[in-house]
Amino acid sequence: MNKLLLCGVSVVLTWNLAACSMSPQVDAQIVVNYAQKGAMVNPKMYGIFFEEINHSGDGGLYAELLQNRNFEEAVLPSGTTLQDGYAVAPHKPSYTTGRCNDWKVKWNTDSLKMVGWTVKGEADYDVVDERPLHKNTPNAMKLQLKHKGVILQNSGYWGVPVTKGDTYDLRFYLNAADYHGKVLARIVSEKGKILAESSFTIRGKNTWEEYTAEMTAADTDTKGAFQLAFEGIGTVYVDYVSLFPQKTFMNRKNGMRADVGQMLADLKPGFIRWPGGCIAEGATLDNRVKWKETIGDPMTRRSEWVLWNYHCTWGFGYHEFLQLCEDLNADGMFVANVGLSCEVRNGDYTDDLLPFIQDIEDAIEYARGDVNTKWGAKRAEAGHPEPFNLKYIELGNEQIGEFYADRYNKLYKLLKTKYPDITFISTLGLNKTLDKLEKTDMIDPHWYVNPAFFYDNDRMFDQVERGKFDIYVGEYAAISAANMDGALSEAAFISGMERNSDLVKIASYAPLLENNNRRDWPTNLIWVNNGGVMGRASYYVQQMYSQHVPTYNLTTIMDEMLPTPFNGYIGFTGKQPDNQYRNLKIIDASGQTVYESADLKALVEVESKVTSGRHSFMNGPAFSLLKEVMVGLGALEFEARVVKEPRVTNNLGFALQADSISHIPAIVFGSDEAGKNYFTLNLGNDSESSVVHLTRTVDGQGGFGRDPQGPELRLNVGEWNKVRIEFCKNDELVCSVNGKEVYRQQVEFLTKHYTLAGYDEKSGETIIKVINANEEPFTTKMVLNCAQVSDTGKVVTLAAQSLTDENSFEEPKKITPVETIFDGFDKEFTYTFAPYSFTVMRVKTSQQ
C-alpha cells in the first residue's frame, strides 16, 4: 500500500503517471529515509499465546502419551449440574446483559468415562469414585476380573507414538482389593507387536501403591497403544497411568514434547501468554482456570473440563508455563480471572473480588516471591528457588462493557500501586468503552477476520490516539484462510503494528497449536500429530518478524503508479421493496452528465427477481447498462428511499448477516467485472451505529469499515432523498444527502503491496520488509538515503505459487523462508519481489 508514516502521521502519495520519473519497467519506488529516526521497536514484540484448545496442550505440547490418565474425563464442568443429558450452568445473570444465558453442553457420562480406554477380555468394569487415589482425582477404573489375561488399553491421543531406542517413564497406581497375580505393562504397535514390556508383582491390599518402570521401545510406531495386562483375577482399581518420554524439550521432567518445544523456540517468542483465552474465564465462573490446581505433583492435580469440550489434566500448569518462559527466554504473561465468566457462555459473575485479588497476588508471589514466602516456597519445592520472570498480568480475557471497565479501574489502581513494575493489561479493544477506563498500561484488541480486513487495515494503528495506553494485539488471525493468502494478509497487518511500534508493544497470533486430529478453531499456527509437527505459512510469517526486529524504525515511503479506485461498475444494494432508487445520473470529471436513468428502481427490481440478496444486481442486465461510464473522476447522483421503518438489529461488525443489512440503502462502485472487488458506501443503517461509512470488498471478502465512520444518518423514511457522491482529486470521496455534506473521506488504494524498514544497531544492518500479495512480480526501485551501503546482504523470501497454497504434513516445507545472498545492494538498486511473497532484506549500512 502506498503510504508514508511521518511522525505517526500517515500520508498517502500517488504518482501522477505523466509526472512519473520511474523507468517503465519499475512498478514502484521505495525510499528508506535515514534522516528521521522512527520509534524504537520492542525486541520482545512478538510472543506466543498458549491456550488449551484443539488438544494443544494435552495431546500437543505436553509430552504425556496417555489420554485420560486419571479417569476424570466424565467429571462435569465445575459449576454445572447434569440435567437431561446436559451439563447445565447455574441460572445466574450475565455481567453484560443482566439476563440469564442458561448455558449448557451435551453430556454423556458413560462414553466420557472411557475416553482413551478400552477393556479387552471378559470383565466387569466401571469408572467409580469409591476409592479416591487423591482428593482432587476421585475417580478410578474398577476391574472385576473373573478370567486371566484381561487387558486395559489406552490408545493415547490418536495412537501412542514411540521411537526405537527411546525410553519412556511409566508411572501408575493400583489398589488391589482381592486381586492376586502379576500385571504386565506393555507398549504395543498398531499391529499388536510388543515393543516394550515390564512385569509387576502386586503389593499391598486395599491400599494404593505406586508402580514405575523405564520402558525402551524396540521399534518405532506412531499409532501404538499402551496396555496393562492382568495375569490374575479378583478386583483391582487402577488410576493415574502415565507414560512419559524421557526425551523432552530441554530434558525437563513432566516437560514438553521435544519437537513441539523446538518449534516454539524457533519462533524466538518475546513472551508467553497463559492460560487463555476463554478457558481462563470459564463457561461458568466456577469452570475458570484456577492456577493453584495446576501446580504440584501432576498426580494430585485436579483436571477440569475446558470449554473447548474436553478435560485438561493441567500437566502443563502454572509452574511449567513459567519454566517454559525461562527456557525460551520469554517474559511471562498470566491471564487472571477477575470474577467474570465468559459472556458468550454463561457470563455469570461475582462481586466478591477479594479471593480473586488474593489469587492474583499469590500467583505473583509464586512466580517472583522470596523462598520464605508461602507461594515462593512452593516454587522452590517444585525445584526452582530463583524467581521466574512474570512481566505481564492481563485482568480477564475478552471481557467487555462498562461493568468490566469499572471493575478494571478498581483492580488496576490497587494492583499497580502494589506491583508498579508489572504491566497490567485490560481486555478492552479499540472501542467506545475505552472512554470508561481511567488508566491502564495496555489494552488487548483481538482480530479474527478474513484476509481482506488485514490487507485493508495495515494503516489502522496510524490513527489511534497516543499517550493513553500501549497496545497488545493479543489474538489475531486470518480466520477464514489457512493458506498463503491468510499468511500474507497477516504479514500486511503486522507491518502496521511494527511501523506503529511506539503504540503497539507486543502481539501474539492465536491460536498457537492444534493436534491435527482435533480442530476446535479453524486456523491454528502449528499442527501437531504423532508423526511430527509443522508450521503453516503463517508460522513462517511470525518467525520472520520475530527474527528480524529492528532497533528502531526508519521512515519508509512506497510510491506506486496506481489506477483510480473509482473506475469500475456501479450498483445498488438492498432487497426491494425496502430500498428504492431513481433518477440516477453519472457525471464525468468535466461535469458532463454521461448517463441518466429515471427508472433505476425498475432496473434494480429486475435483478432482484433473478437472485435475491445482497449485490444481486452484479451480474444481471441492470449492471451491464451502467458498466462503461464510471471512468475518471466525477460524481453520482440519485434518489434513495427506504419504504419501511427499518428493523433494529444488532450490528456486530463482521458478524453482520445479510438480513441485517437488507435495510441499508447503499451504493457499490469501483467494482470489477466479476463483482469481487468493490467499494460500498453505506448511507446509514438500522443498527445502533447508524452512520455513513465506506467498506471495501476484496476478492469477495470484506464488508469491513476501514475508514473512519461518518456522522449518524437516517434517511427520511418514505421520502425520496437526494444523494450525491463526488469523487474528488486526491481520491477524496464526498457524500451529501439532501444538499448537506454527510461524509468526506480520503480513500486509500489497495494494491496489496506493503513495506517497512528499520535499523538494527547490533548488526549495523538496515532491515527492509516487503509484502507482495499479488500474482505478478513486483519490481521496485529501492532508494536507501544513507551514506554507505554494503553491496552484499541477505534476502529471506517466503513465497508461494498461489494464494491457496499451504503447508501440510506431506509437504511441511512447501512454503518456507529461503535465505539467499544478494550482491546488488546499493544506495539505489532495483529488486523484483516474487509473486505472493513476504521478503526480508538485511544489508549493512552506515549513516556517516
Q: Give the nearest residue (CB) to ligand AHR.
A: 277
C-beta separation of 665 from 618 below 8 A? no
Which of these segments, 15-23, 168-176, 275-283, 662-670, binds ligand AHR (CB under 6 A)?
A: 275-283
Query: In the bound complex, what is the minimum distance in angstroms from residue 282's beta carbon to ligand AHR?
Result: 11
Task: Number of residues interacting with ligand AHR: please give it, by CB under 6 A.
Answer: 11
Could you count the other beta carbons within 10 Å of the beta carbon of residue 792?
11
Contact letters (x/-) for ligand AHR, 495-514, by CB under 6 A? Answer: ---------------xx---
Sequence-distant (6+) residues with CB within 8 A of 344 are 278
**Three-state secondary structure call for residue 175:** strand
Query: In the bound complex, what is the minimum distance in angstroms from residue 279's beta carbon to ligand AHR?
Result: 7
Is 654 an interacting residue with respect to ligand AHR (CB under 6 A)? Answer: no
Contact letters (x/-) for ligand AHR, 512-541, by CB under 6 A? Answer: ---------x--------------------
Residues 671, 678: Cα–Cα separation, whole Å: 4
For residues 276 and 376, which CB has a smaller minimum distance to ligand AHR in the complex?
A: 276
Query: In the bound complex, what is the minimum distance in angstroms from residue 510's beta carbon to ligand AHR?
Result: 4
For residues 60 and 511, which CB has a smaller minimum distance to ligand AHR in the complex?
A: 511
For residues 519 and 714, which CB has a smaller minimum distance to ligand AHR in the complex?
A: 519
Nearest to 91 by CA among 303, 284, 300, 365: 284
For residues 47 and 298, which CB has a smaller minimum distance to ligand AHR in the complex?
A: 47
Map grid coordinates 497487518 to a residue: 493
Residues 143-172 that bind ligand AHR (CB under 6 A): none
Query: In the bound complex, what is the minimum distance in angstroms from residue 779's beta carbon to ligand AHR?
Result: 39
Query: In the bound complex, what is the minimum distance in angstroms from residue 210's beta carbon to ligand AHR?
Result: 36
Partners of residue 828 on adjacent β-strands: 783
Residues 446-505 that bind ligand AHR (CB under 6 A): 475
Query: In the bound complex, what is the minimum distance in angstroms from residue 170's beta carbon to ligand AHR?
Result: 34
Query: In the bound complex, what is the minimum distance in angstroms from residue 741's beta carbon to ligand AHR?
Result: 39
For residues 520 and 686, which CB has a smaller minimum distance to ligand AHR in the complex?
A: 520
For residues 399 and 690, which CB has a smaller minimum distance to ligand AHR in the complex?
A: 399
Query: In the bound complex, what is the minimum distance in angstroms from residue 317's beta carbon to ligand AHR?
Result: 18
Interface residue with ligand AHR, options 162, 278, 528, 770 (CB under 6 A): 278
Sequence-distant (6+) residues with CB within 8 A of 531 are 161, 222, 809
Is 542 an interacting residue with respect to ligand AHR (CB under 6 A)? Answer: no
Which of these segments, 121-129, 276-284, 525-533, 563-571, binds ligand AHR (CB under 6 A)?
A: 276-284
Query: In the bound complex, what is the minimum distance in angstroms from residue 484's beta carbon to ligand AHR?
Result: 21
Interface residue with ligand AHR, options 248, 397, 695, 755 (CB under 6 A): 397
Torsion of CA 40, 41, 43, 44, to 10 degrees: 130
Residues 608-627 that bind ligand AHR (CB under 6 A): none
Could you count the other beta carbons within 10 Å of the beta carbon of residue 97?
12
For residues 475 and 502, which CB has a smaller minimum distance to ligand AHR in the complex?
A: 475
For residues 398 and 607, which CB has a smaller minimum distance to ligand AHR in the complex?
A: 398
DSSP string, 465-508: PSSS-EEEE-EEEETT--SHHHHHHHHHHHHHHHHTTTTEEEEE
For residues 27 and 394, which CB has a smaller minimum distance to ligand AHR in the complex?
A: 394
Query: In the bound complex, what is the minimum distance in angstroms from residue 838's beta carbon to ligand AHR?
Result: 23
- Please state whether beta strands 666-671 and 569-573 pair in parallel, antiparallel, or not at all (unpaired): antiparallel
Map grid coordinates 421520502 to a residue: 719
Query: In the bound complex, what is the minimum distance in angstroms from residue 479's beta carbon to ligand AHR?
Result: 9
Residues 520, 60: Cα–Cα separation, whole Å: 13
For residues 522 and 835, which CB has a smaller minimum distance to ligand AHR in the complex?
A: 522
For residues 173 and 447, which CB has a smaller minimum distance to ligand AHR in the complex?
A: 447
Amino acid at 253: K
How many C-alpha atoms does 337 have within 13 Å on its Cβ side? 30
Map grid coordinates 452528465 to a residue: 593
Question: What distance separates the 2 farthest-apart alpha carbons in the chain?
Answer: 101
Query: In the bound complex, what is the minimum distance in angstroms from residue 461's beta carbon to ligand AHR?
Result: 20
Nearest to 335 by CA among 444, 226, 462: 444
Q: Is the dihedral of CA 701, 712, 618, 652 positive or negative?
A: positive
For residues 1 and 512, which CB has a smaller minimum distance to ligand AHR in the complex?
A: 512
Residues 732-791 that bind ligand AHR (CB under 6 A): none
Which of these segments, 63-71, 252-260, 271-279, 701-709, binds ligand AHR (CB under 6 A)?
A: 271-279
Query: In the bound complex, what is the minimum distance in angstroms from residue 431's beta carbon to ligand AHR?
Result: 15
Interface residue with ligand AHR, options 52, 64, 398, 456 (CB under 6 A): 398
Query: In the bound complex, what is the minimum distance in angstroms from residue 688's beta carbon to ligand AHR?
Result: 22
Is 277 an interacting residue with respect to ligand AHR (CB under 6 A)? Answer: yes
Query: In the bound complex, what is the minimum distance in angstroms from residue 513's beta carbon to ligand AHR?
Result: 11
Which of these segments, 4-12, 270-278, 314-322, 724-732, binds ligand AHR (CB under 6 A)?
A: 270-278
Residues 708, 656: Cα–Cα separation, whole Å: 18
Q: What percent helix, strand, coil does the chain show, rounded to 5? A: 20, 40, 45
Residues 13, 30: Cα–Cα separation, whole Å: 12
For residues 38 and 339, which CB has a smaller minimum distance to ligand AHR in the complex?
A: 339
Residues 229-248 that bind ligand AHR (CB under 6 A): none
Residues 75, 283: Cα–Cα separation, whole Å: 15
DSSP string, 219-282: S-EEEEEEEEEE-SBEEEEEEEEEEEES-BGGG-TT-BBHHHHHHHHTT--SEEEES-SHHHH-
Interface residue with ligand AHR, options 138, 159, 276, 574 (CB under 6 A): 276
Residues 813, 811: Cα–Cα separation, whole Å: 6
For residues 521 and 829, which CB has a smaller minimum distance to ligand AHR in the complex?
A: 521
Q: Is the dihedral of CA 528, 533, 536, 541 positive or negative?
A: positive
Residues 202, 197: Cα–Cα separation, whole Å: 16
Is 51 an interacting residue with respect to ligand AHR (CB under 6 A)? Answer: yes
DSSP string, 144-172: EESSTTEEEEE-BTTBEEE-TT-EEEEEE
Could you count the other beta carbons within 10 Å of the beta carbon of residue 234?
16
Sequence-distant (6+) residues with CB within 8 A of 686 are 646, 647, 648, 649, 660, 663, 664
Query: In the bound complex, what is the minimum distance in angstroms from residue 304's beta carbon to ligand AHR?
Result: 15
For residues 282 and 568, which CB has a smaller minimum distance to ligand AHR in the complex?
A: 282
Query: In the bound complex, what is the minimum distance in angstroms from residue 404's beta carbon to ligand AHR?
Result: 14
Could you count the other beta carbons within 10 Å of the beta carbon of residue 591?
8
For residues 53 and 283, which CB has a smaller minimum distance to ligand AHR in the complex?
A: 53
For residues 476 and 566, which CB has a smaller minimum distance to ligand AHR in the complex?
A: 476
Sequence-distant (6+) residues with CB within 8 A of 255 are 63, 248, 249, 261, 320
Query: In the bound complex, what is the minimum distance in angstroms from residue 277's beta carbon to ligand AHR?
Result: 3
Per-residue CA distances from 724 to 403, 625, 627, 680, 743 (Å): 42, 20, 19, 14, 11
Residues 64, 154: Cα–Cα separation, whole Å: 12
For residues 332 and 511, which CB has a smaller minimum distance to ligand AHR in the complex?
A: 511
Binding site for ligand AHR (CB under 6 A): 51, 53, 276-278, 397-398, 475, 510-511, 521
